[in-house]
Amino acid sequence: MMGLPPHSYAALIRCEGKTLAATTQALKDAIAILPNGHNLAVLGPIDAPMSKRIAVTTYNCYF
């Protein structure tokens, strides 16, 4: 194996809400309940593409 992608699994959690604080807090709560024994790399919460549209804020968290 050359170690080129895809060489691991990936997951995305998307959260939508009316406020930035509620949206990011929901993702932080999701991160907090993840098991630590699997060497998970967490990237986020970060802005989603087109994160603000028609009074809905969208943020992503990648695992």
What's the pTM value of the predicted model, to 2 decimals?
0.65
Distance in angstroms (rounded) separating the CA atoms of residues 63 and 55: 27
Question: Cα(first)–Cα(last) distance of the chain, in Å?
Answer: 23
Mean pLDDT of 6-12: 73
Q: For the chain, which residues make up each domain, given as ranges?
A: 20-62
Could you identify the residue written with the tokens 């907090």? 32
pLDDT of residue 18: 81
Query: What percentage of residues in the chain have a pLDDT greater than 70?
Result: 75
pLDDT digits (tens, 9 = 90+) for 14-39: 888 888 888 888 888 888 888 776 67
Give CA–CA dist 8/56, Å, rounded. 32
The structure tokens 């959690």 sit at 13
Pairing of strands 56-62, 43-53: antiparallel
Radius of gyration of the CA atoms of the chain, in A: 14
